[in-house]
């Protein structure tokens, strides 16, 4: 059965009948207005689903998967559906059934001794944070800047990154429980054994490393994720470097790579353009780049690391200022700010909050230049559109210079203000995240589309390739992949999802 045929009115009723006939029928909706909201992406595109279902149990999900195989239906799972800038909640093609897992939202276990949490897919960042607080946990969460009500599992499966020492989030996944598109349930890691005392805590298991198959893919629906948490550090401080020199960025990034290789800095380090860090408020500020890193551990160690990092940074980037912000200093600054009225203090507090794993909607407000924006909104409620441009680079200065020159040239050419962050995600690699914010009218969308197309083409042509595409822009990157890689993906998809029921085409798995 073709996917499009499902949205014709006659089969709409058939679909409802099929769902109602399930052993445990899920809640579902075919309300056109709601379908429209789920189909709306922030790049201005739209992809209308056939229905939204809200399963509440594994059994219900399993029968949906079997139903899809029997009747040639396509499912597209969402944790919270807030993949903003990478496709939002839209499926990979029209007429799919969006499987909204937000009602499977239990924090199943927190193990204080071994420092991990076991989660269902619909759990939000705020929920885990509150759970840890209410139970006076000694553990801290790594969070993204996407907001309180975005998911843990969806973001981590997309290999998103956070703001603490555990910033490469997928590398902190310890095990997954997965429903395969053919209906079987498997456990990754030591869960491959019928009995193991280390079931949820040793990701490699034995034999091939399976876990990675379920990230950025459509090879299974993740039912549970076990995630390492960080013991709350005794002491932490923020290192902040500011410079007004545009050319300094490549040196900053290279120096941070060196500090990471030496083990001085462990956290993800973000080097942001002023407009990216402060939004519209940056118009009244001087400066080109602001770098934030977090250093934690026993107080003496964190301070010693700061000293080493500051000295190397100032040696490499003499035209900059490096400051240390601690909890105590921030409180003092906030008090003084009743008179000083510096807008940057609010942003300083935000950095501290993110680095301590406290979810916040403030970055969303900065991105949209809208104080009322919050992460309970869906893409359809956003006052403006945007899409991320992401690209992986080496931390070598020449690569960063080429990358930034492409960005600045393209931003200038299209008349947009450059909003750019460079994140030292590892001791060697850097991820560029750039975006524009544009109005929702067709003319602004077309202008933005031209900008994005040119930027994507130029970046790819120079070897700066994306690390993530969500359900957004996967097809356009296909020609840039090697033919052997695409063939391998196709073989995997055919082997694990012979009925092609799960998000066909996502990340070129079709």
Ligand X SMILES: Cc1cc2nc3c(=O)[nH]c(=O)nc-3n(C[C@H](O)[C@H](O)[C@H](O)COP(=O)(O)OP(=O)(O)OC[C@H]3O[C@@H](n4cnc5c(N)ncnc54)[C@H](O)[C@@H]3O)c2cc1C
Distance of closest approach, residue 394 Cβ to ligand X, in angstroms: 21
Contact between 379 and ligand X (CB under 6 A)? no
Which one of 68, 75, 98, 364 is in contact with ligand X (CB under 6 A)?
Answer: 364
Single out the segment in contact with ligand X by CB under 6 A; choices: 126-134, 140-148, 277-285, 487-495: 140-148
Which one of 51, 222, 390, 422 is in contact with ligand X (CB under 6 A)?
Answer: 222
Contact between 205 and ligand X (CB under 6 A)? no
Cβ burial 315-331 (10 Å sphere, 16+ → b, else e): ebbeebebebbbeeebe
Which one of 151, 238, 267, 273 is in contact with ligand X (CB under 6 A)?
Answer: 151
Distance of closest approach, residue 225 Cβ to ligand X, in angstroms: 8
Which one of 26, 39, 81, 504 is in contact with ligand X (CB under 6 A)?
Answer: 81
Contact between 150 and ligand X (CB under 6 A)? yes
Contact between 67 and ligand X (CB under 6 A)? no
Distance of closest approach, residue 12 Cβ to ligand X, in angstroms: 23
- Token pair, residue 70, equals 């029997």
What count of other Cβ atoms lies within 10 Å of the Cβ of residue 403? 26
Contact between 157 and ligand X (CB under 6 A)? yes
Distance of closest approach, residue 459 Cβ to ligand X, in angstroms: 19
| 337 versus 426: smaller Cβ distance to ligand X | 426
Contact between 49 and ligand X (CB under 6 A)? no
Q: Phi first, then psi: what are they for 491, rounded to 5°?
A: -65, -40
- Residue whose token pair is 């093609």: 93
Distance of closest approach, residue 7 Cβ to ligand X, in angstroms: 20
Contact between 397 and ligand X (CB under 6 A)? no
Cβ(63)–Cβ(221) under 8 Å? no
Contact between 160 and ligand X (CB under 6 A)? yes
Distance between CA 142 and CA 441 in Å, rounded?
A: 36
Q: What is the DSSP string of 183-235?
A: S-EEE-GGGGSSS-TTTTT-TT-SSS--GGGGSSSSS-EEEEEEEE-EEPPSE
Contact between 85 and ligand X (CB under 6 A)? yes
Distance between CA 75 and CA 286 in Å, rounded?
A: 49
Distance between CA 340 and CA 352 in Å, rounded?
A: 20
Contact between 367 and ligand X (CB under 6 A)? yes
DSSP state of 26: P
Distances, alpha carbon 497 to alpha carbons 63, 76, 84, 492, in Å:
16, 13, 27, 8
Provide the CA 494 distance to its chain's centre, in angstroms: 27
Contact between 191 and ligand X (CB under 6 A)? no
Which one of 26, 39, 49, 77 is in contact with ligand X (CB under 6 A)?
Answer: 77
Which one of 3, 63, 105, 144 is in contact with ligand X (CB under 6 A)?
Answer: 144
Vertex 431: Cα angle to 427 and 434 (nearest 5):
155
Distance between CA 72 and CA 498 in Å, rounded?
A: 11
Q: Phi first, then psi: what are they for 421, rounded to 5°?
A: -125, 140
Q: Bridge-partner residues for 100, per DSSP?
A: 78
- Residue whose token pair is 């390492």: 228
| 102 versus 243: smaller Cβ distance to ligand X | 102
Single out the segment in contact with ligand X by CB under 6 A; choices: 72-80, 202-210, 307-315, 402-410: 72-80
Distance of closest approach, residue 122 Cβ to ligand X, in angstroms: 8
Footprint (CB under 6 A) of ligand X, residues 447-506: 470-471
What count of other Cβ atoms lies within 10 Å of the Cβ of residue 27? 13
Note the residues at the interface with ligand X (CB under 6 A).
76-85, 101, 121, 144-146, 150-151, 153-155, 157-158, 160-161, 221-222, 363-364, 367, 470-471
């Amino acid at each position: 059965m073709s996917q499009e045929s499902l949205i014709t009115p006659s089969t709409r009723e058939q679909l409802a009948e099929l769902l109602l006939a399930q052993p445990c029928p899920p809640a579902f909706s075919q309300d056109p207005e709601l379908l429209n909201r789920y189909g709306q992406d922030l790049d201005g595109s739209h992809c209308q689903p056939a229905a939204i279902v809200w399963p509440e149990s594994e059994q219900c999900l399993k029968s949906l998967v079997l139903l899809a195989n029997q009747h040639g239906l396509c499912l597209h799972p969402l944790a919270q559906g807030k993949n903003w800038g990478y496709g939002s909640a839209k499926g990979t093609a029209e007429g799919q059934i969006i499987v909204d897992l937000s009602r499977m939202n239990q924090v199943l276990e927190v193990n204080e001794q071994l420092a991990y949490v076991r989660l269902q897919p619909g759990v939000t960042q705020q929920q885990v944070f509150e759970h840890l607080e209410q139970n006076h946990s000694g553990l801290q969460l790594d969070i993204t800047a996407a907001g309180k009500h975005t998911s843990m599992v969806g973001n981590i499966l997309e290999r998103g990154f956070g703001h603490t020492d555990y910033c490469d989030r997928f590398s902190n996944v310890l095990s997954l429980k997965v429903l395969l598109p053919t209906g079987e349930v498997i456990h990754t890691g030591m869960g491959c054994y019928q009995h193991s005392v280390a079931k949820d805590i040793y990701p490699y298991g034995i034999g091939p490393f399976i876990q990675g198959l379920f990230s950025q893919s459509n090879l299974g629906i993740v039912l549970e994720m076990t995630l390492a948490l960080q013991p709350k550090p005794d002491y932490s401080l923020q290192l902040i470097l500011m410079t007004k020199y545009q050319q300094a960025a490549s040196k900053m990034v290279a120096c941070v790579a060196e500090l990471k290789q030496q083990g001085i800095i462990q956290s993800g380090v973000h080097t942001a353009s002023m407009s990216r860090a402060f939004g519209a408020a940056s118009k009244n500020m001087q400066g080109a780049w602001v770098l934030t890193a977090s250093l934690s551990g026993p107080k003496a160690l964190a301070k010693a690391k700061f000293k080493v990092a500051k000295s190397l940074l100032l040696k490499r980037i003499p035209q900059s200022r490096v400051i240390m912000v601690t909890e105590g200093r921030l409180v003092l600054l906030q008090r003084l700010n009743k008179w000083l009225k510096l807008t940057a203090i609010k942003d300083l507090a935000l950095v501290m909050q993110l680095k301590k794993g406290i979810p916040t909607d403030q970055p969303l407000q900065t991105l949209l230049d809208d104080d009322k924006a919050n992460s309970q909104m869906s893409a359809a409620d956003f006052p403006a559109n945007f899409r991320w441009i992401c690209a992986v680079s080496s931390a070598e200065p020449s690569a960063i210079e080429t990358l930034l020159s492409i960005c600045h040239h393209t931003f200038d050419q299209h008349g947009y203000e450059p909003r750019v962050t460079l994140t030292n995600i590892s001791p060697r690699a850097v991820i560029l995240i750039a975006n524009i914010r544009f109005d929702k009218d067709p003319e602004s969308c077309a202008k933005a589309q031209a900008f994005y197309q040119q930027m994507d083409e130029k970046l790819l042509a120079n070897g700066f390739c994306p690390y993530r595409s969500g359900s957004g822009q996967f097809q356009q990157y296909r020609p840039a992949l090697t033919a052997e890689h695409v063939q391998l993906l196709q073989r995997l998809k055919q082997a694990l999802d012979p009925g092609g029921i799960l998000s066909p085409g996502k990340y070129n798995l079709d």
